[in-house]
Structures are given as structure tokens and as C-alpha cells.
Amino acid sequence: MQHDSALDIRRDYGHNEIERLAGSFRVRHTLAEMGAARLRHLLATEPFVPTLGALTGNQAVQQVKAGLKAIYLSGWQVAADANTAGQMYPDQSLYPADSVPNVARRINNALRRADQIARLEDNGDDTYWMAPIVADAEAGFGGALNAFELMKAMIEAGVAGVHFEDQLASEKKCGHLGGKVLVPIAQHIRTLNAARLAADVEGVPTVLLCRTDAQSAQLLTSDIDERDRPFISGERTAEGFFRIRPGLGVEYAIARSLAFAPYADLLWWETSEPDLGEAERFAAAIHREFPGKMLAYNCSPSFNWRRKLSPGELASFQRNIAGMGYRFQFVTLAGFHSLNLSMFNLARDYRERGMAAYGELQQAEFAAEAAGYTATRHQREVGVGYFDAVATAIAGGQASTTALAGSTEAAQFHNNGADIVADHGHDDGLVHNHAWAAHDCDMVEQRFLRAQ
């Protein structure tokens, strides 16, 4: 058994197990390593880290361009419209287990392209493009071995943080649906250990978030763990599940999170409404036993925010819970809702007014350019200029088939012709010359090595 005092993390395995399982050929997962270092830096230095759920790589690029510093990758959104089965699913772990890692890879590829374009154009943009991704591992899509493999797949895709929830994988539901079935506390600890072990084997200090659905769940698979027994009624369902006593949701979420706290970097309890009193009650109970333990909060689109909070309360909500220790805050389904509403409005207006409606969209894009929006020039946005530079380099500076010069976009949207390519010095590929990384990467790596 091993305890990481620097990060306050417990591992129910030791250094020897890590070394035996890692093999002799070690792969360095640069994006995951950089992402974990960056995420830890943000959590340590920002009042809180606000994020939106991204459904596509382009959405992630726009989020970073608008100033957000991290990306949330929701399993709900992947189920709805971005899974490898090519299906539209509800959030019930129906999609293939490789779906979230594949979307994470797409997001990282899009962010890398945005970084390459910005570096090529050398326009003074100092955006840190590789925003760390916190991704949804659901209930692990099976047992501890499945969680181990899924965590490895997340790391290979370049994910910085991953969360696992304490539901039964085969009955998993969205946290705001009914019919949720919890697993015993000890079983979820095995899931957390499996995920941490995978990160240690891969040599990456991935940020591990633990979610409990105890606040609204009504069923438990087994009474084997004595820590669960005060919260179950003794009644059984037709499937053999134990019923959880009603009215104890917050207490049960606290009890479970206290048991999970030594194994997780952040704790997340799924709530049923944005209740500041309950949020403070949970945070205070955790911090009495684990001072400084970071918390996460789902600012869920399942809540009717204007019905629950006044405009003033809504405006200050995130700052208020940040003061309680909720350092990572996210709107899980922002991508789904923004994509659907914007397309519905455009389609409705286009049906009624034709190109006049599209012209208004384009004028709105032009207006947004003052704030940093650049996707009006869609050819440039996806890298035509970058690949023109590739073609020119291949041809020794004499390419006659470059695409952006002479294009409709260059004639109607670019004021200064093709973008200027700058000559940049070489860096080591890890810190990318960003000032925060020189100190924080070294610090995180040293802490991680000491823990081994």
C-alpha cells in the first residue's frame, strides 16, 4: 500500500506492481502529460476552472479562442451524437467504450491544428491552445479491468483528467435520470485504484475525479460493505437490488465521498438542483476530514436555472461555490444545446427569408471578429494556409498549386493576402516555451516521481 503525501493520494498497490506491469518499452504520452500538468496548474492558480462540454474539435477550438482554459468531454454528448457506433443514444453506456477516447483524439487534433496555424501566422497570438481535456469514463464500462483499459485509452488519446462514477456499469444512467443503481463503496474504490494504476503504469499524473450519484440514486447492488448499510432499507427489488432509504441523499453522498476522498484528486457529487445550501453542507463535511480537497460541480443543463435562481444569484453562483472549494465547474451539455439551438434558428429563418437570413449570420460573424472570432474565414480556420506552407516547403519555395492565394476567400475575406509564415526556433516539444510549464511541469514530475 502506498500513500502520496504531496498529492494526498492513496494507492492500494506499490512501486513494484507498477514496474512489473509497465513493461520494458515505455511510451511517453506527451499530450496527456502536458495536459495533466496544465490542469493541475490551473486548479492550483485559478479561482476556479470553468468549462463547457465540447461535442466536436471545432467547438473546442472556439471555446479556447473565446478564452476558456480547459475542455469538458461529456459521455452524454458522445452518446447523443459522436460515438463510434454512429448511433443516437441516451446516456446509458450504450455506445462502444472507445468512443470518448476517439472524440478526445479529434479534439486534441483540432487544437493542435489551431496551434500550428497560430504559430505559422505569427500574429502575436499567445493563446495556449492545448487546453486540458477532462473526459467522462462513465462507470467504467465493466469491472476494474475495464476501467484500467479505458483509463489507458484516455491517456493515449491525450486526456488530462478522467472521472468515474459509482453506478453499476450495466445499469448506468445519466445522473439526472431515474433507475440509477450504485455499487458498494469498496467496489468503486477498486475502480479508482484501477484507473490510478493505469495512469501510473503509463507514467502520466492524470487528474482523477470521483463522482457519486448517491444523492438521487434509489438502488444498491449489495449490502456487503458495512459503510453502505446505514443507508439501505432492507427491501429488495425484483432484480435483487437493495432499496436506499429516502431522504438521506446528501448524507449518503457525503459518506461515500469521504470514503472515496483518499483515492481521488477531486470529488464530484451529482446534485438534483443548484442548491447553495446543500453545496456548502457537502463541502464543509468533506473539508472537516480532508482540508483543501478539491471539489467539482456539474452546472447541469438539466436544471431550470432561471426557475431555481434569481438573475443575481445566477450571476454569482459559480463564484460562490468556488469559495466553497468547487474548483472545477462545467456545463456538461453546452455543445449539444448550442449546436441544436443555433442550427434550429438558422434553419427556421432560412426557410422563411432565404439568403437574407444567412447574410445576417455572416454579419454576426463579422461583428464577432472584434472579440477574436476568426471562423468567418473558414478556409483559413481549418488550415488551408498551413498546408500551403507545407506544399511550399516541399517544393523548395516554388509551389504554384497553393490553394489560399487566388481563392474566393482571399479575394473577399482577407485584407492582406496570404498569411505570413514566420521562422521559429526549436523547442523540446513538451513545454512549447510557455512560461507556466517550465516550473509546473518540473514540479509535478518531481512530485510524481517521489510518489513512486
pLDDT, one tens digit per residue, over 196-228 is: 999 999 999 999 999 999 999 999 999 999 999
Cβ atoms of 134 and 330 closer than 8 Å? yes
Residue with cell 459522436: 82
pLDDT category of residue 242 using cuts at 50, 70 and 90: very high
Q: Is 29 left (phi over 0), alpha (psi -120 to 50) or beta?
A: beta
Output the pLDDT for position 442.
57
Output the pLDDT for position 428.
40
Q: Is the pLDDT of residue 93 over 50?
A: yes
Pinpoint the alpha helices (H) of 66-184: 75-81, 99-121, 144-156
Output the pLDDT for position 299.
92
Q: How far is CA 189 from CA 139, 192, 253, 259, 354, in A?
A: 12, 5, 15, 8, 57
Cβ atoms of 152 and 146 closer than 8 Å? no
Return d(Cα 161, Cα 177) in angstroms, integer: 25
Q: Is the pLDDT of residue 362 over 90?
A: yes
387-396 mean pLDDT: 89
Question: Hey, what amino acid is at 291?
Answer: P
pLDDT category of residue 429 using cuts at 50, 70 and 90: very low
> 18-33: buried (b, 16+ CB within 10 Å) or exposed (e) per residue?
beeeeeeeeeebebbb
pLDDT category of residue 1 using cuts at 50, 70 and 90: low
pLDDT digits (tens, 9 = 90+) for 48-67: 999 999 999 999 999 999 99
Q: Is the pLDDT of residue 437 over 70?
A: no
Output the pLDDT for position 452.
46
359-368 mean pLDDT: 96
Helices and strands, counts by H and E, the chain: 17, 14
In whole angstroms, how large is the CA radius of gyration of the chain?
A: 24
Output the pLDDT for position 446.
56
Output the pLDDT for position 8.
77
pLDDT digits (tens, 9 = 90+) for 169-178: 999 989 888 8
Cβ atoms of 292 and 5 closer than 8 Å? no
- Which residues on adjacent β-strands are paired with residue 329? 50, 297
Q: Is the pLDDT of residue 397 over 90?
A: no
Q: Is the pLDDT of residue 407 over 90?
A: no
Output the average pLDDT for the chain. Answer: 90
Output the pLDDT for position 2.
55
339-364 mean pLDDT: 97
Question: Hey, what amino acid is at 68?
Answer: L
Span of 18-27, 166-175, 424-433 with lowest mean pLDDT: 424-433
pLDDT category of residue 92 using cuts at 50, 70 and 90: very high
Question: Hey, what amino acid is at 198?
Answer: A
Catalytic residues: 174
Residue 6 dihedral angles phi and psi, to the nearest 5°: -65, -40
Q: Is the pLDDT of residue 424 over 50?
A: no
Output the pLDDT for position 417.
46
CB atoms within 10 A of CB 36: 26
pLDDT category of residue 236 using cuts at 50, 70 and 90: very high
Q: How far is CA 42 from CA 39, 68, 131, 191, 338, in A?
A: 5, 11, 10, 26, 26
Output the pLDDT for position 422.
38
pLDDT digits (tens, 9 = 90+) for 114-150: 999 999 998 888 999 999 999 999 999 999 999 999 9
What's the pTM value of the predicted model, to 2 decimals? 0.91
Q: Is the pLDDT of residue 379 over 80?
A: yes
pLDDT category of residue 412 using cuts at 50, 70 and 90: confident
pLDDT category of residue 435 using cuts at 50, 70 and 90: low
Q: Which residue has the higher pLDDT, 302 or 259?
A: 259
pLDDT digits (tens, 9 = 90+) for 275-318: 999 999 999 999 999 999 999 999 988 888 888 989 999 999 99
Output the pLDDT for position 14.
96
39-51 mean pLDDT: 97
Output the pLDDT for position 413.
82
